[in-house]
Structure 1
Amino acid sequence: MACEASPPDWPVPPDGGWTAEDLDRLPGLHQHTQLIDAQLVFPCPQTAFHERATSFFGQQLSLAVVPGLDILCRFSVDVDRQNRLEPDVIVLREEALTSLDQTRVPAAAVVLAVEVTSQDSLSRDRETKPLKYARAGIAHYWRVENEKGLAVVHAFELEPTTGAYTSVGIFRERMKVSAPFPMDLDLTAVKARRGGE
């Protein structure tokens, strides 16, 4: 008699799918799980490039941030009832942080979302997330990609008449911007693993 493998212990969605509130209530859920279109998106192991780029932008934004704004890495953003995303770095209005026990902030408080792409997130970071961030009114979006071991930043700004993002530049080696506040970044400081992984 063959042994039957027990099914994986996956959370079963309720009718209508999960909501942003559910992420704080589901037992045993990985802390970096996101909600996209009422579906749970579980995190995958990250490359060294991803971690170093996230750390680099978190540190550099923290050094340059102006009064009234704050920086958080890998923190949950409520876009709407069925979308709770977790950018790699966010710049937000500091009044949105009311408690050290807080697990998320509203998208209306976010002025910049930074996503560092990986193989499993490429289409989400290029297509799905920018659309949702733009609809939520997040003024700036930066997508960081690993191009042969070097960080390349695709920067976008919300165009108020269309409500969509427009490109403000593709940056290699050096990134100089004036919004959301002045920054001059040496992108060569983000180092990938050997072999450009």
Structure 2
Amino acid sequence: MAWPTRRYHYKQDVARSCGILGRALPWPESEYLALGETAQRIELLDGSLLIGPPPSVRHQVIVGGLAAALEPGCAAADRTLLPVINLRLDSTRILNPDLVVTAELDLTADCVPADAVLLVGEDTAPHTATIDRVLKPHLYAGASIEWYLLVEQEPLTLRLYQRHGAHYVERSTTRVGEVLELTEPVKATIRPEDLLP
């Protein structure tokens, strides 16, 4: 699978960040989407912006490994795997998960709607751990996304959650030396140690 590449212009991004910080709240969806691609990961949450640094090389390698493990099952089930996409939970919440598995795909849309997403995946990083473990699962479950796959970097662990009402219940924990045999929403065999070279 080809991964999108981005060219970042540091001075332009610094100027853009200064403009973002000087803007009054709330941010409407249209203005958020008008930001386009930036060096930082910027997400819309209830009219405010969550701004984080670009992901590390380790983070990108893990997400790439996870995508490679999921891709054959997606292809066999006629599902689409998308990395770092605008995921619209509602008109005031657009998050950028590390990957999603979708049942439907509109190539003209600015965002993937939550009701088309079967699984959302996140790889924790030191600066996003609380968001990935607490905030995002709450928001994804509230948007009725059935499956949440969380990669913990230290120690390398996969946690699979399934929605139960408005929250997630942990279905499995897979550590190095163990195997996650995913059967829903696509079939995949994932070994944590295979996510890193």
1:134 Cα offset (Å): 0.4
**Cα offsets for 1:13-71 (capped at 9, x unmatched):** 444x1133322223785473111232112231322221111101112211111433100
CA distance in 2, matches of 1:134, 1:21: 25
Q: Which runs of 4+ in 1 moved over 6 A?
A: none
Number of aligned residues: 177
The 5 A counterparts of 1:1-197 are 9-11=18-20, 12-15=22-25, 17-26=26-35, 29-30=38-39, 32-65=41-74, 66-94=76-104, 96-99=105-108, 102-148=109-155, 151-159=156-164, 162-173=165-176, 174-191=179-196
**Cα offsets for 1:132-182 (capped at 9, x unmatched):** 10010100001101124xx311110011xx321111011113211211122
**Identity over aligned residues, as a percent?**
22
For 1:44, the aligned partner's letter is P
Change over 3 Å in CA distance of 1:144–1:28 after alignment to 2: closer
Contact kept, 8 Å, 2:66 with 2:190, in 1: the verdict is no
CA distance in 2, matches of 1:64, 1:131: 27
TM-score, with normalisation over the residues of structure 2? 0.81
- Write 1 or 2 for the structure with the bigger share of helix: 2
CA distance in 2, matches of 1:147, 1:29: 28
CA distance in 2, matches of 1:27, 1:56: 26
CA distance in 2, matches of 1:27, 1:45: 15
For 1:125, the aligned partner's letter is D
Structure 2, unaligned runs of 5 or more = 1-16
CA distance in 2, matches of 1:135, 1:179: 19
Contact kept, 8 Å, 1:49 with 1:146, in 2: the verdict is no
For 2:83, the aligned partner's letter is C
TM-score, with normalisation over the residues of structure 1? 0.81
Contact kept, 8 Å, 2:72 with 2:188, in 1: the verdict is no
Change over 3 Å in CA distance of 1:145–1:139 after alignment to 2: same
Higher radius of gyration, 1 or 2 = 1
SS at match of 2:32: helix
Give the CA RMSD over aligned residues. Answer: 2.1
Greater displacement, 24-33 / 44-53:
24-33
CA distance in 2, matches of 1:191, 1:183: 17
- Partner in structure 1 of residue 11 of structure 2: none
- Partner in structure 1 of residue 12 of structure 2: none
CA distance in 2, matches of 1:135, 1:64: 26
CA distance in 1, matches of 2:66, 2:30: 29
For 1:82, the aligned partner's letter is T
Contact kept, 8 Å, 1:20 with 1:80, in 2: the verdict is no
